[in-house]
Amino acid sequence: MPRPCTMSPAMALLLCLAMLSSGGWCGGCRDDERATLLDIRGQFNYNSPLDWNSTDCCRWEGVSCSSPTARVTGLDLSILHSIASSRGLLNTTMFLPLQELQDLSLSGLKIQGCTPGAGFEVWSKLHRLKVLDLSYNGKLMESDVPSLVAILSLRSLFLNGNDFSSNMTIQQLSIMKLDTLDIGNNDIKGTIPTDICNMRDLQVLYLSDNLLFGEIPSCMQNLTSLRILGLSENSRLILKFPSLIFAKLTLLEKLSLVNNSLEGVLSLSSLQNHRQLTKLELASSGNDFHVQTENPATNLPAQIQVLVLRNCNLNGNSGIIPSFLLHQHKLESVDMSNNNLSGNFPSWLIENNVNLSHLVLGSNSFEGPLPPSKVHTSLQWWVASSNRLSILPVDINTTLPNLSYISLSGNSYMGNFPSSFSYMNSLQYLDLSYNNFLDDIAAAFVGNMSNIIGLKLSGNHFYGSFSPNILLPAVKHLLLSDNEIAGKIPEKLCGSLILMTFDASNNKLTGPLPTCISALSELAILNLRGNSLAGSIPSEVCDLQKLVFLDVSKNNLSGPVHCLPDLRYLHMSRNRLNGTFPIPLYLGNNIYIMDLQENQFSGVLPKLIGKSFPKLKVLLLKGNMFEGTVPNDICSLKYLRLLDLSHNRLSGQLPLCLNIMGSDDSLFDFQPGFGTFPVLFNVIGLPDQEEFMTKGRQDKYRGNILNYMTGLDFSSNQLKGSIHESIGGMKWLRALNFSENKFDGSIPQSLSNLSDLESLDLSHNNLAGQIPSELVALQSLAVFSVACNNLSGPTPGTKGQFITFDLSSYEGNPYLCGPPLKKSCFATPSIPELEENGEQDDKVGHIILFGCSAMFYMVGFWTSLGVLYFKTSWRRSWFSVVDRFGDCVLVKFFVFTKNIRSTN
C-alpha cells in the first residue's frame, strides 16, 4: 500500500511565506480584497449591523470565493435589502480590485445611478463578470443602462423592478450577447422592438409586468434557444393564434402568457413537440381566446408541473375537462378557473398527482362529492369558489391534513359550521363566505380555529354573539359581514394584537366601540357599517397609526368626533354625530375620502380645509347643519372631484376660484390591499363605496370607478349670487346640481364646455334671462332641469339631447316658450315688459273711446235742440210728426183693450 503524501510544518510555512511575498494568500481571503469589500459596504446606510468582522472574508455572508485561490468570485449585497440603502450614486470603480468577480448582486439597494464620469462601463475591466443583478432599485436612472453594453463578458442581466419606461431600453440592450435578460416589472411602454430578435443566444427572457402593447414580433420565432419566456401582465400585448412563434420554440421549458390580450384558437396539440415543457401559463385579459384540447385530443409527451388555463374558454365552454390531464402525474400547481367546467369535481387530479400542492378551480360549475377519500399530504392550497358544491366530507381533516388555504365561497353549502375544520392543524386561511351556513358564531372559534390567521364567513346566516372570552391570538384578517351576529364587541378581541382587518358590517351588533381598541396597533381596516352600535367614537381610535380604512356608517353613534386618525378612507354617515367639523391632529392629513353625510354636524366649514386635507378626492357632507360660506381654501383641493354639500344651511356666494378645484386628474386606488395576504383570499374584498345623487337618483359607486365619477352638489342651501362663468372650466364634471338655492343672474354660457356633463339641475332659484342655446352641445346630458326660475324666451327645443326632456324640466317659468311647452314663441311676445305695456295701452284706448262717445252724444243732443229752437218751420214739422205718432199709438192701444174685454 503506498504511503500518503504529507508535508512537514516547516515546508508549509516556507510555502506560505513564498506566496505572501508574491502578493498571494495564506489561510483566507486576500487582504486587499477584504479591504475592498469593507469600502464597498461603506457606500450603504445601515439600519442594523452586518457581521463582517472575521478575518476571512470568504466566510462572510454574501461573499463567495474560489476554493483554489481564495479570490472573491461572488458578491451578493441583496442581503442588505431590509437593513440598508445606497446613498444614491454608486461608485463603480471601488469594485475593480475584485478582478475574479463573476457574480454581482446589488438588488434592492435603492441605487439611483453611477457617480459622474464612472458609469457601468467601468466594469468592462472585470473580464470575468458574467452575472449582474441590479433589480428592484426603484429609481435607477434609465440613462445609465446603455453603459452596460460595454461589459462584454456579461451573460445574465437582471434589471426588473426599476420603473423604466421606454422600450428604447430593450432596443439598446439587444446588441449584447446575453443568455438571460430580465427587464420585467417595470413601466416600459410601447411595442416590443424587433431588435430583440437578434439576441439568438437568449435562453431566458422576461418582459412581464410592463405596459407593452401591440402584436408580438413574429421574428421571435427565431429565438430557438429560448427555454424560459415570460410575457405576462401586459394586458394590451396582442398574440393571435394559431401562431408559428411558439411552435418553433421547441426547447421551451416555461411559457407564461397570463393577462395578455390573447386572441383566436390555440390547439394544445401544436405543443406536442415541446418535450421539455414543465410550466405552461395561459390566461387572456379578454374573452376572445379559446384553448382546444379535444378534437383532436391532445396528448402532451411532457409532464407538466405548473399548468394555468384560466379564462380560456376551454373546449368552447363545453364543460369538458382536458383529457390529457389523465396522463399527467407530476403536476404541482393547477389553475383552470373561470372556464365553465362541469360535472363531478375532478378528485382524480388530486389522486393522480402526489406532489400537487395548489389546485384552483374557481368559477366553474362543478358539483358532486369532494375531495378524495385517500389521504393526500401535499395539497396546501385549494380553491373551489363559485361552483355548485353542496357537500363537505366530514373527514377532510384526515384526507387533506396539510391544507393551509381553503376557499369555498359562493357555493351551496348549508347547515352547521363544519367541525372538521376545527381539527386541521395546518389551516391558516379559510373562506366559506356567501353560502348558506346556519349556526351560532361561537362554533367557528373552537379547537384549532383559534389559531386561524384569516377567516372569512361573510354572507351566511351566523347568529348569536361573540363569546366574552374569545381568544384569537394569531388572527390577522377576520371578515364576518352580512350575517346576523348580535351583542357587543368583546373586550377580549383587543387581545388579537396582530389583527389587521376586522369587518363585521351589516350585522346586529350593539353597545359601544371598546376603548381598548388602541391596543390593536396593526389594525388597518375596521368596518362596522350597518349595525346598531351606540355611544360616541372613542378618542383611542386616533392612536391607531396604521389605520387606513374606517367605516362606522349606519349606526346609532352620537356625540362629537374629537380627532381624526391619519387614514385614507373615512365613513361616518347616517349616525347622530354632532359638534363641529372633525379636524385632524395636524395639517396635511392623507385622507382620500371623507363621508359625513346625514349627521348633525354644525358650525362653519374649516377655513383651512385645503391645507388640512390636501389629498381629498371625495367629500360628502350632505344632510348636516353646516352654515356660513363655502371657504375659498376649498379651491386648493386639487384632487377633489366629488363634492356634496347639499341639504345644509350654507349661505353667501360661491368662491370665484372654484374652477381651480379638481385640476389634478391623478388616479387613486379605491380598492386597496393591506398586509401580507394571499391574493386569492380576496380580503379586500372591501372596495370603497360611495353614494352620490345624480340623474335624479341616489347611486352607489364602488371600487376604482370612483376615479371616474365626478360631480358637485350644492342643492338645498341658501347660497346666492350669480353662477360664475368660470364653472365652465371644470371640464371633468359629470353631475352639477345648484337647485333649491337663491342664485340669480343668467345661466352661464360656459356650461356648454362641460362635454362630459350627464346631469344639470338649476331648478328652484331666481335665475333670469334666456337659456343659452349653446347648451345643445352637451351630447352626454341625460337629466336637465331649470324649473321654477324666472327664465324667458325660447327653450333649446328638440335639438340634441334636449329632445328627451319633457315639461317638468321647464315648469314654473311662465315666460318660456317653445317645445316641449305648449306656448308658441310666435304667438306670444317673448319679453314680459312688452306684454305689460300692451295692457296699459288697452286701458288708455278704452278711456279715449268712452270720452269720445260721450262728447259726440252731448254735441248731437244740444245741436238738435238749438236747430228746433231757432228754426220755426222745423219745429212745427217735428211736433206734427210727434203728435201723429202719439195719436196712432193711442188708437192702437184702445182697440187692443176693447178686444180683450169682448173676449172675456
pLDDT (tens digit per residue) in 515-558: 999 999 999 999 999 999 999 999 999 999 999 889 999 999 99
Query: Strand pairing of 44-46 and 84-86?
Result: antiparallel
Average of per-residue pLDDT values in the chain: 86
Q: Note the pLDDT of residue 826.
A: 82
Mean pLDDT of all residues in 20-39: 73
Q: Note the pLDDT of residue 298.
A: 84
**Among the listed residues 254, 251, 206, 271, the one whose alpha carbon sits nearest the alpha carbon of residue 232:** 206
Q: Note the pLDDT of residue 674.
A: 41
Helix H or strand E encompassing 13: helix 9-21
Contact of 722 with 699, CB cutoff 8 Å? no
pLDDT (tens digit per residue) in 11-23: 444 444 444 444 4
Helix H or strand E encompassing 815: strand 815-817
277 has a pLDDT exceeding 50: yes
CA distance 623 to 646: 7
pLDDT (tens digit per residue) in 242-265: 988 998 999 999 999 999 999 999
502 has a pLDDT exceeding 90: yes
667 has a pLDDT exceeding 80: no
Question: Which residue is listed with cell 331648478?
Answer: 763
pLDDT range class, residue 728, cuts 50, 70, 90: very high
Q: Which residues contact 899 (CB under 8 A, 6 or more apart)?
A: none
**Is the CA virtual torsion 808, 814, 815, 821 positive or negative?**
positive
Beta carbons within 10 angstroms of residue 171's beta carbon: 15
Q: Note the pLDDT of residue 47.
A: 61
**612 or 840, which is more confident:** 612
Question: Which residue is listed with cell 400547481?
Answer: 333
Distance of CA 385 to the CA centre of its chain: 23
Segment among 48-52, 410-414, 459-463, 822-826 with least mean pLDDT: 48-52
pLDDT range class, residue 830, cuts 50, 70, 90: very low
Contact of 360 with 334, CB cutoff 8 Å? yes
pLDDT range class, residue 637, cuts 50, 70, 90: very high
7 has a pLDDT exceeding 80: no
**Among the listed residues 480, 566, 569, the one whose alpha carbon sits nearest the alpha carbon of residue 531:** 480
Q: Note the pLDDT of residue 885.
A: 62
Q: Note the pLDDT of residue 101.
A: 97
CA distance 429 to 475: 10
Query: What does the CA dihedral 569, 574, 576, 579 come to, rounded to 10 degrees?
Result: 40
**827 or 442, which is more confident:** 442
pLDDT range class, residue 689, cuts 50, 70, 90: low
pLDDT range class, residue 834, cuts 50, 70, 90: very low
With vertex at residue 83, the alpha carbon angle to CA 77 and CA 84, rounded to the nearest 5 degrees, is: 60
904 has a pLDDT exceeding 60: no
Q: Note the pLDDT of residue 779.
A: 94
Q: Note the pLDDT of residue 584.
A: 81
CA dist list (Å): 35 to 30, 72, 100: 9, 12, 15
Which neighbouring-strand residues pair with 693? Answer: 698
Would you report the helix, strand and coil content of the chain in percent, each value rounded to 5? 25, 25, 50
Mean pLDDT of all residues in 416-436: 93
Distance of CA 597 to the CA centre of its chain: 22
Q: Note the pLDDT of residue 48.
A: 58
CA distance 352 to 358: 14
pLDDT (tens digit per residue) in 36-64: 999 988 887 766 567 788 889 999 989 99
CA distance 269 to 519: 59
pLDDT range class, residue 682, cuts 50, 70, 90: very low
Q: Which residues of 173-198 are buried (b: 16+ CB within 10 A; e: fewer)?
A: bbebebbbbbbbbbebebebbebbbe
Query: Is the bond preceding 655 in cis, omega lying within 30 degrees of 0?
Result: no
Q: Note the pLDDT of residue 224.
A: 95
pLDDT range class, residue 89, cuts 50, 70, 90: confident
Q: Where are the alpha helices (DSSP H) in 493-565?
A: none
Write down the pTM of the prediction.
Answer: 0.80
Contact of 140 with 117, CB cutoff 8 Å? no
Contact of 607 with 584, CB cutoff 8 Å? no
Secondary structure (3-state) at 193: coil
Q: Note the pLDDT of residue 681.
A: 40
Annotated domain spans of the chain: 832-867, 871-904
Beta carbons within 10 angstroms of residue 168's beta carbon: 16
684 has a pLDDT exceeding 50: no
Q: Note the pLDDT of residue 11.
A: 43
In percent, the amount of the chain with pLDDT more than 70 equals 82
CA dist list (Å): 30 to 11, 102, 277, 372, 792: 21, 17, 45, 60, 95
Secondary structure (3-state) at 269: helix
CA dist list (Å): 187 to 114, 132, 232: 21, 21, 13
Mean pLDDT of all residues in 308-327: 93
732 has a pLDDT exceeding 80: yes
690 has a pLDDT exceeding 70: no
pLDDT (tens digit per residue) in 183-237: 999 999 999 999 999 999 999 999 999 999 999 999 999 999 999 999 999 999 9
Contact of 171 with 193, CB cutoff 8 Å? yes
Q: Note the pLDDT of residue 204.
A: 98
Q: Note the pLDDT of residue 296.
A: 82
**11 or 481, which is more confident:** 481
**Among the listed residues 282, 272, 276, the one whose alpha carbon sits nearest the alpha carbon of residue 309:** 282
Cα separation of the two ends of the chain: 187
Contact of 363 with 335, CB cutoff 8 Å? no
Q: Note the pLDDT of residue 588.
A: 72
pLDDT range class, residue 832, cuts 50, 70, 90: very low
pLDDT (tens digit per residue) in 334-381: 999 999 999 999 999 999 999 999 999 999 999 987 767 789 999 999
Q: Is 458 exposed, middle or buried (0-12, 13-18, 19+ CB in 10 A)?
A: buried
The one-letter amino acid code at 713 reads: D
Mean pLDDT of all residues in 644-668: 90
**Among the listed residues 288, 309, 289, 287, the one whose alpha carbon sits nearest the alpha carbon of residue 298:** 309
DSSP output for 466-510: --TT---TT-SEEE--SS--EEPPPGGGGG-TT--EEE--SSEEE
